[in-house]
Structure 1
Amino acid sequence: MTRLLVPLLAACLAVLTPLPGFAGPEGPTPDGGKVIVLFRTGTDVSQRDRIVRRAGALPRRHFSSVSATAVDLPSPALRTFLEQDPDVVAVIPDRPVQMHAKPGGKPGGGGSIQVVPAGVQRIGAAPGTLVWTGVGVGVAIVDTGLDFAHADLQPLGLACFTAYTACQDDNGHGTHVGGIVAARNNTRDVVGVAPDAVLHAVKVLDASGSGSDSTVMAGLDWVAQNAESLAIHVVNMSLGRPGTLDDNPALRAIVQALHAQGISVVVSAGNDQTTEVSQQVPATYPEVLAVASTTALTGSNSCRFLPGAIAKDTASWFTTDGVFDTATGSGVTISAPGEDQENVNRGCFIQTVGILSTRLGGGTTRMAGTSMSAPHVTGVVALMWEQALSGSATLAPEDARAAIRGRADRVDAAPLDSPTTSYSFDGEREGVLWAPGALN
Structure 2
Amino acid sequence: MRRLGKIPLRNGALACAALSALMAAGVVPGSAHAAEPVPAQRWIVQLKDTVTDPGRVAEEQAEGVSSDGGSRLRHVFDATVDGAALKGYALEATEDQIEAIRADPQVASVEPDRLVSVPEPVAGSSSQAPRRRAGEPGVGGAAYRGDPLLAGQWGLFRIGAVAGSDHGFRVPEAARVGVAVLDTGVDAGHPDLRVAGSANFSTSPGADDLHGHGTHVAGIVQALNNGIGVEGAAPGTRLWNVKVLGDNGSGLFSDLIAGLNWVAQNAKAKNIRVANLSLGTPKDSPLVHQALRLATQAGVAVVASAGNRGSTAPSYPAAYPEVISVAATTVFDQRADFSSHGASWVDIAAPGTDILSTLPTRATPLGEDYGFLSGTSMAAPFVTGSAALCLTSGHCRGNARDILRTLGRDALPVAGTGSDYRYGLVQVGCYWRNAPRCAPRSVEHDAA
TM-score, shorter chain, exceeding 0.5: yes
Query: In the TM superposition, what is the alpha-carbon distance from 1:264 to its structure 2 partner?
Result: 0.4
What's the CA shift string for 1:305-364, capped at 9, x where partnerless? xxxxxxx1111111111223xxxxxx111011111xxxxxxxxxxxxxx21101111631
**Taking structure 1 as reference, are residues 104 and 82 closer, same or farther at Cα in structure 2, changes over 3 Å only?**
farther
What's the CA shift string for 1:91-125, capped at 9, x where partnerless? 11111111125496104667234222111111011
Q: Contact between 2:117 and 2:281, CA under 8 Å: does it hold in 1?
A: yes
Is 1:433–2:426 an aligned residue pair?
yes
Counterpart residue identity of residue 314, structure 1: Q
**Taking structure 1 as reference, are residues 200 and 429 closer, same or farther at Cα in structure 2, changes over 3 Å only?**
closer
**Taking structure 1 as reference, are residues 437 and 276 closer, same or farther at Cα in structure 2, changes over 3 Å only?**
farther
SS of 1:266's partner is strand
Is 1:289–2:324 an aligned residue pair?
yes
In 1: Cα distance, 2:320 partner to 2:261 partner: 17
SS of 1:228's partner is helix
- What is residue 355 of structure 2 aligned with on the other side? 355
Is 1:143–2:183 an aligned residue pair?
yes
Matches within 5 A, 1:43-82: 43=51, 44-45=53-54, 46-54=56-64, 58-65=72-79, 66-73=86-93, 75-82=94-101
Query: In the TM superposition, what is the alpha-carbon distance from 1:178 to its structure 2 partner?
Result: 0.4
Is 1:161–2:200 an aligned residue pair?
yes
In 2: Cα distance, 1:157 partner to 1:60 partner: 26
Q: Contact between 1:53 and 1:59, CA under 8 Å: does it hold in 2?
A: no
SS of 1:157's partner is strand
Query: In the TM superposition, what is the alpha-carbon distance from 1:87 to its structure 2 partner?
Result: 2.0
Q: Contact between 1:269 and 1:291, CA under 8 Å: does it hold in 2?
A: yes
Relative to the length of structure 1, the TM-score reads: 0.75
SS of 1:158's partner is strand
What's the CA shift string for 1:260-294, capped at 9, x where partnerless? 111100000111123423xx111111111000111
Matches within 5 A, 1:101-120: 102=121, 105-107=127-129, 111-112=133-134, 113=137, 114-116=148-150, 117-120=153-156
Query: In the TM superposition, what is the alpha-carbon distance from 1:428 to its structure 2 partner?
Result: 6.2
Percent identical pairs in the alignment equals: 34
Query: In the TM superposition, what is the alpha-carbon distance from 1:377 to its structure 2 partner?
Result: 0.1
In 2: Cα distance, 1:364 partner to 1:58 partner: 40
**Taking structure 1 as reference, are residues 426 and 126 closer, same or farther at Cα in structure 2, changes over 3 Å only?**
closer
Q: Contact between 1:145 and 1:202, CA under 8 Å: does it hold in 2?
A: yes
In 1: Cα distance, 2:200 partner to 2:424 partner: 35
Is 1:92–2:92 an aligned residue pair?
no
Matches within 5 A, 1:153-192: 153=193, 155-163=194-202, 164-192=204-232
Query: In the TM superposition, what is the alpha-carbon distance from 1:239 to its structure 2 partner?
Result: 0.1
In 2: Cα distance, 1:101 partner to 1:184 partner: 28
Point out the structure with max Rg over C-alpha.
2
**Taking structure 1 as reference, are residues 84 and 160 closer, same or farther at Cα in structure 2, changes over 3 Å only?**
closer
What's the CA shift string for 1:121-170, capped at 9, x where partnerless? 110111678885234321111001111111111x3213433433211111
What's the CA shift string for 1:14-44, capped at 9, x where partnerless? xxxxxxxxxxxxxxxxx96111011211223
- What is residue 274 of structure 2 aligned with on the other side? 234
Counterpart residue identity of residue 223, structure 2: A
In 1: Cα distance, 2:195 partner to 2:105 partner: 45
Query: In the TM superposition, what is the alpha-carbon distance from 1:251 to its structure 2 partner?
Result: 1.2
SS of 1:169's partner is coil
Gaps of at least 5 residues in structure 2 are: 1-38, 80-85, 138-147, 362-367, 433-437, 439-448
In 1: Cα distance, 2:338 partner to 2:420 partner: 20
Counterpart residue identity of residue 123, structure 1: I
What's the CA shift string for 1:358-377, capped at 9, x where partnerless? 11116310111100010000
Is 1:336–2:350 an aligned residue pair?
yes
Query: In the TM superposition, what is the alpha-carbon distance from 1:394 to its structure 2 partner?
Result: 5.0
Which one of 102, 107, 116 corresponds to residue 83 of structure 1?
Answer: 102
Question: Which segment drifts farther, 377-386 or 101-110?
Answer: 101-110
In 1: Cα distance, 2:426 partner to 2:50 partner: 41
Q: Contact between 2:185 and 2:209, CA under 8 Å: does it hold in 1?
A: yes
In 1: Cα distance, 2:320 partner to 2:229 partner: 35
Counterpart residue identity of residue 423, structure 2: E
Q: Contact between 2:172 and 2:233, CA under 8 Å: does it hold in 1?
A: no
**Taking structure 1 as reference, are residues 83 and 146 closer, same or farther at Cα in structure 2, changes over 3 Å only?**
same
- What is residue 274 of structure 1 aligned with on the other side? 311
- What is residue 406 of structure 2 aligned with on the other side? 403
